[in-house]
Chains A and B, each alone.
Chain A
Amino acid sequence: MHLTDGDRAMLDGAKGAAPQLAMQILVRMAEVYGADELMDITQAHIDSTIYLGDATLEFAERLAALGAKVAVPTSLNVSGVDECGWKDWAVPADWAAKAARQMLAYERMGAVPTWTCAPYQTKMRPSFGQQIAWGESNAIAFANSVIGARTERYPDLLDICCAIAGRVPAVGLHLTENRAGQLLLRLAGIPRALQQDDQFFAVLGHLVGKLAGDLIPVIEGVDVVPTEDHLKAFSAAVASSGRVALFHIVGVTPEAGTLDAAFQGRAPRQTQEITIADLRAARRELTTADGQPLDMVILGSPHFSVAEFVQLAPLVAGKRRHAKVKFLITSGRFMKEMAEKAGVLGPIVDFGAQITLDTCILASPMLPPEIKTLMTNSPKYAYYAPSLLNTRVTFGSLADCVRSAVEGRVVRDDSLWETP
């Protein structure tokens, strides 16, 4: 592998112990990736912020103690604790203290404390064609596909090494030729009314993630204009049920103006149809609850955006959640601040909603054991909560979630999805 003089200086320790450690890991990984050389990045997003236990903390504190500094503008993913609100929940004090130490370690490295899994909805949003090193599966899929920035699927522990070195292996999705579609998925007779439904892109993403395997999927036949938050839900779903880091939606995403453009003029390796029956089955998979009482509505994975706060406010205005159903929104500090400025938080708080910042129910042990059944409009929460939290979950639209919270039981309008 060819290393530049700058790379070698880092590797030899001439630029300090932290860049040396980062470059050692990076060079070994470049060999795993089969890279011939490294290349520059101009931004990073760090998923290693998620506190899991002593190992993630020791890794962060070791880098910080070596004096590590990020070499490029760097945003931070969710942490393991809402520093201001954790005492309202079941978070053990020891966990909160260690998760806060891990946050501090990454802040000491000079990263911007965004603390969100939707960094593309903050001022750290990258631009089309920008070379970046991002962690967090939903953010990777969104940055590559919806924005057209270029990142490989960087795992925790490597993302921070890339940020410290400002270099990445020159492989994979950083290079134009590797961004062509490979699997053509055609929507077959999916009615426009269903495509316009709030749940459509989340369900489609869950299905595409399972179909895509290692291939870059291209979806043809979308004839609605999805909102950014629909594409966010799609990105989260496709990277939960599968390992998709880049997708193209013809006529929607920036590298897929036409079918031909999405495939860079090549022929699809495989073609498959997606029918309404496939979508119905995929939607049913996202629900594991079966008639149990509802304990909590949970929104915001990826983190709830300003647009989602704006969408929620009129749905809850003048209403109050049922006394037995908690209503929790997970978001980032910047999103909440912008929602405050937009003046939409009042009715949401009056409704009885709580807002947790900087983390989520999957990354922080915040839910008390009596919370056994959830309802959500997030395909990522629906996918992971049963395994990670041992809860049952019902997937539904945002409006369904609000109605259910008011009535104190799961109420879903399934007319678009389940009619024959």
Chain B
Amino acid sequence: MNEVDSVDFVIRGRPIVAGSAEGEALVTHEALSFWGGYDFHTGTIIDKHHPLAGVSAAGRILAVPCSKGSSTTTAVLLEAVRAGTAPAAILTTDADSFFALASIVAGVMYGKSFPVVALESRDFDALESGTRLRIEPTGIVRRV
């Protein structure tokens, strides 16, 4: 099992799309559809059914278990990358193919992929909004 140290908060995740990022964590335990759920002009979560409705995820480390709903989620995320309003990285519990694809295509189109890292559920549950996190290419998530 992975070690979660309460002092030096370090989680070892599985890099689905490897990369580096640093930012403030924004954590939710509810899946999110970016289409109908994310305004790429502003980076705000707009799904009124979602607990993070009204909150901006732009430039933050978004921790969301997985995507749901519309298959246009990937395209919305690609638009957000182009507009500079995407999360800096996405942490999930599953190897979410939608988030991974958006990042891969953002790399192909704009040279701007973002890290997507899958965590064990209990590691994910240890995350808290507001903490400043650094993601490393190996999938290590550190509090900084």
Interface residues of A (CB under 8 A from B): 21, 24-25, 28-29, 32-34, 47-48, 50, 52-56, 58-59, 62, 135-137, 140, 153-159, 214, 239-243, 288, 362, 383-384, 386-388
Contacts and interface: CB of A to CB of B under 8 A. Distances in A.
A52 B75 contact: yes
Nearest to A156: B75
B110 to A, nearest CB: 8
Interface stretch (B20-28, B93-101, B131-139): B93-101
A344 B72 CA distance: 33
B79 A56 contact: yes
Interface stretch (B1-9, B46-54, B122-130): B46-54
B70 interface: yes
Contacts of B101: 25, 29, 32, 155, 157-158
Contacts of A34: 95
B78 A56 contact: yes
Given A34-B95, A47-B72, A243-B67, A157 B78 contact: yes
Interface string B49-65: 10001000000000000
B107 to A, nearest CB: 9
Given A34-B95, A387-B48, A59 B66 contact: no
Contact of A53 (B46, B82, B97, B108): B82
A159 B101 CA distance: 11
B36 interface: yes
A387 B49 contact: yes
Given A59-B109, A157-B105, A384-B36, A214 B94 contact: yes
* Interface size range of chain B in the complex: 35 or more
A267 B52 CA distance: 36
Contact of A25 (B46, B66, B104): B104
22 contacts: A25-B108, A29-B97, A32-B97, A52-B75, A52-B76, A52-B79, A56-B78, A59-B78, A136-B71, A137-B69, A153-B97, A155-B72, A155-B101, A156-B71, A157-B102, A158-B97, A159-B71, A241-B49, A242-B68, A242-B69, A243-B31, A243-B67
A53 B40 contact: yes
A384 B48 CA distance: 9
Contact of A135 (B33, B67, B71, B82): B71
Contacts of A362: 36
Contacts of B94: 214
Of B47, B67, B69, B83, the most chain A CB neighbours within 10 A belong to B69
A262 B83 CA distance: 45
B16 interface: yes
Contacts of A62: 109
The 5 closest A-B pairs by CB, nearest first: A243-B68, A155-B74, A156-B75, A55-B82, A384-B36
B71 A153 contact: yes
B36 A50 contact: no
Contacts of B69: 137, 239-243
A192 B95 CA distance: 41
A155 B67 CA distance: 11
Nearest to B47: A387
Given A55-B82, A243-B67, A24 B72 contact: no
B74 A243 contact: no
B37 interface: yes
A28 B49 CA distance: 33
B105 A25 contact: yes
Contacts of B109: 55, 58-59, 62
Contacts of B37: 387
Contacts of A135: 71
Nearest to B98: A155
A288 B97 CA distance: 32
Of B37, B40, B78, B109, the most chain A CB neighbours within 10 A belong to B78
Contacts of B72: 47, 50, 52, 155-156
Contacts of B97: 29, 32-33, 153, 155, 158
Given A47-B72, A52-B75, A384-B36, 15 more contacts: A29-B101, A52-B40, A59-B78, A62-B109, A153-B71, A155-B72, A156-B71, A156-B75, A158-B101, A241-B49, A241-B69, A242-B69, A243-B69, A387-B47, A387-B48
B81 interface: yes
A153 B72 CA distance: 11
B16 A24 contact: no
A55 B79 contact: yes
Contacts of A156: 71-75
A59 B105 contact: yes
Contacts of A54: 79, 82
B108 A56 contact: no
Nearest to B41: A53
B71 A137 contact: yes
A29 B95 CA distance: 11
Contacts of A55: 75, 78-79, 81-83, 109
